[in-house]
């Protein structure tokens, strides 16, 4: 498996469930119905989307985040994509602001 390079420079093992969880939270924030299988399938699509951007030392969290937003939009879940982006921006601001 590969490493995820977080925005603070630390690394962590890649975990597909973190992507599924983030997608489910985005659906909740957008007040949209979903099921676990749907979130898992979208998480797999996200992984396929960023796969060609994995480098020797891993993949950045920003690349994964961009893929989540893109896959949600392509799948017709624009509201969830906006909710995901909004959650991501709030998280960045809580962790010391934008770069």
Mean pLDDT by 10 residues, the chain (99 residues): 89 95 95 96 98 92 95 97 80 49
Distances, alpha carbon 44 to alpha carbons 16, 33, 35, 41, 83, in Å: 8, 19, 15, 5, 20
Q: What pLDDT was estimated at residue 99?
A: 38
In this prediction, residue 98 carries a pLDDT of 41
Burial class (CB in 10 A: 0-12, 13-18, 19+), 9: exposed
Is 0.75 topped by the overall pTM?
Answer: yes
pLDDT at 89: 62
């Amino acid at each position: 498996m590969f490493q995820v390079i977080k925005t603070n420079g630390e690394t962590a093992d890649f975990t597909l469930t973190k992507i599924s969880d983030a997608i489910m939270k985005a659906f909740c924030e957008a007040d949209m119905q979903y099921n676990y299988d749907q979130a898992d399938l979208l998480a797999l699509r996200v992984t396929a989307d960023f796969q060609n951007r994995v480098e020797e030392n891993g993949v950045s969290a920003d690349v994964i985040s961009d893929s989540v937003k893109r896959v949600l939009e392509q799948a017709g879940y624009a509201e969830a994509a906006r909710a995901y982006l909004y959650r991501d921006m709030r998280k960045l601001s809580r962790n010391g602001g934008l770069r």
